[in-house]
Structure 1
Amino acid sequence: MTRWNEPADGARHPAGYYDQRVELVELRPGDRMFVECDGGPCRSRVERFPPRLEIEERGGVYVLDDVGPRHEWRYRFVPTT
């Protein structure tokens, strides 16, 4: 189990990086969460908190835009062309 201030496997911010005081529900490491996607083959992804910063996908990479409250977070698709 990951501690609140240690990064989980893969490229992620540690859970303690995120200020959750503005959120209705505080997530703990390993909690499932929904992140919408802009561009690419996916419309959304289910991730475990804290979410991965980059996810390889056909034709490119999704990069996490995690600025602001969680409902505004998005994976932005960056094509490899």
Structure 2
Amino acid sequence: MLVDPKGLNDVYFGLMMKVVRAGGEAEFVACASKETFPKIKMGPAEQKIKEVFWKECFKALQSRGLLSPANKVA
């Protein structure tokens, strides 16, 4: 359901699961909101996508209805 070859592929999903397993919900939310990563070991493929990971992850989750866009407060 989440993995597709054009968007959130196996490498993205694997990295997302590493972030989830590294610290639980609170740390995942903190990392996602700051677009950072916890102390985890990344392979070469994960190192390549590190810079665009959160943007692509948010885009994939929004397209599947699992994440709604944030409302901007004036």
Q: Normalised by the shorter chain, which TM-score bucket?
A: under 0.3
Say which structure is richer in helix: 2
Q: TM-score, normalised by structure 2?
A: 0.22
Q: TM-score, normalised by structure 1?
A: 0.21
